[in-house]
Amino acid sequence: MSARLEGELLEVSMGPQHPSTHGVFRMNVALDGEIVVKLKPVFGYLHRNHEQIGERTSYLGTMPYTDRLDYFNSMSNNWGYALAVEKLAGVEVPERAQYLRVILAELSRLQNHASLLGFLLSDMGAWGTPLMYAFREREKVLDLFESLAGSRMMCDYMRFGGCRVDADAAWMERAKKIVYDFPRFLDEFEELILENEIVIARTQHVGRVSAELAISAGITGPMLRASGVNYDLRKVDGYGFYPRFKFRIPLGEHGDTYDRLMMRVLEMRESIDILKQAFEAITPGPITNPKVKVRGFRPPAGECYGRIEGPKGELGFYLISDGTGTPYRYHVRAPSFINLTILEDMCLGHTVADVMVILGSIDIVMGEVDR
């Protein structure tokens, strides 16, 4: 008789209806006891062929569809798409619209990162309370979006060469108040979570990604910077008016889940800095480029890849125009889809409970993964 106890591998299908998979996402996991030895992500449950819908509608018609990609950050998605089309057609954006875009994209980043932290804590077992704290702040930002764009999550706000509606002085005052009050929430939240023993035990040295692997795997956004790679498109590309702002790029050291969590906290602080500067710098003026005919928009033939630093990573739009009112090819480079590539590498050797935390720290939204 063998002295060693030999067990069989246990195959578990985690998801698609698991509460911590943040949507309909499945992982086929092979377990040796409690340790993950193999993990294959399965998705596509929300696939609606977003790209083909884009190839069948007008350029403007795709704008509201981009809201549905990463439905936490419709403002950033709008900007990414508008930026690509503007590049394709060589359209200038007036100054006030550029500032408005920065303000809205950074507000979007604030609420995305805040709710991500809430979800992550929820995945770790801190059920409800931290998430509700985060959602309280998110509501304030969503109320702002609603009063400006008419919708809380599906904003459909940007247009080629500008923005759809202008923000009045009262809106600016409300936004200013929310932004100036935000650090109070952050102080409280950081005190609650960052030195919490359970959070530290669950996240430090869990799901480490080396800088080389992160670059090769196309990881972008806070996840890449948690591995210590200084690559932020707001600095690298300097799109929009970002070169006019003073802000720093927080960098991690270990590339583990704790660093990824920390990146979000620090990025929120930098976003607040950017927002404060934007409120000072914004001046009255036109918000649309009068030369652009938004309806029946026909860019010249050619192709273009435009990208922005979304809250989840590099959000890119690839467009091929054949000179008609419909794009010949419309492709979305979705950050959370590509950030999932090395999920298996991150989870190998960890327990099932850690898989949930690692997945939570990637920050995926299935609307964008499945497209």
Partner 1 sequence: MESLEQIKSRIEAAIAGASVTIVPNPGPANQPSLLIDNEHAFAAVQFLRDDAELRLDYCSSVTGVDWLDRTVKKTVKVKEIVDGVEKEIDRAEEEKIPGYLEAVYHLYSTVRKHGPVIVRMRTTDRLDGAHLPSMTPLYRSAEFQEREIYDLYGVTFEGHPDLRRILMWDEFEDHPMRKDYVQPDDFEYEPTPHDEVLERAKEHYSERPTIDGAEPVSTQP
Site residues, partner 1 (CB under 8 A): 43-44, 47, 49, 51-52, 87-90, 213, 215-220, 229, 231, 236, 299-305, 307, 314, 316, 318, 320-321, 328-329, 331, 333, 337-338, 340-342, 370-371
Nearer Cβ to partner 1 (89/266): 89
Q: Which is nearer to partner 1, 38 or 176 (CB)?
A: 38
Q: Which is nearer to partner 1, 67 or 86 (CB)?
A: 86
Q: Residue 14 forms beta bridges with which residues?
A: 27
- CB of 367 vs partner 1, minimal distance in Å: 13
- The CB-of-286 to partner 1 minimum distance in angstroms stands at 21
Cβ-based burial of 310 (10 A; exposed 0-12, middle 13-18, buried ≥19): buried
Name the nearest CA neighbour of 260 among 119, 80, 105: 119
Smaller CB distance to partner 1: residue 19 or 44?
44
State both tokens at 100.
Answer: 């408005």
C-alpha 355/C-alpha 363 separation (Å) is: 13
CA distance 52 to 238: 30
The helix (H) or strand (E) run that includes residue 255 is: none
The nearer residue to partner 1, 51 or 146, going by C-beta atoms, is 51
Q: Would you call 340 helix, strand, or coil by DSSP?
A: coil
Minimum Å gap between C-beta 169 and partner 1 is 35
* Closest CA relative to residue 182, chosen from 113, 122, 247, 131: 113
- In whole angstroms, the minimum distance from the beta carbon of 65 to partner 1 comes to 16
Q: In angstroms, what is the minimal distance from the CB of 128 to partner 1?
A: 33
Which residue's structure tokens are 């008419």?
150
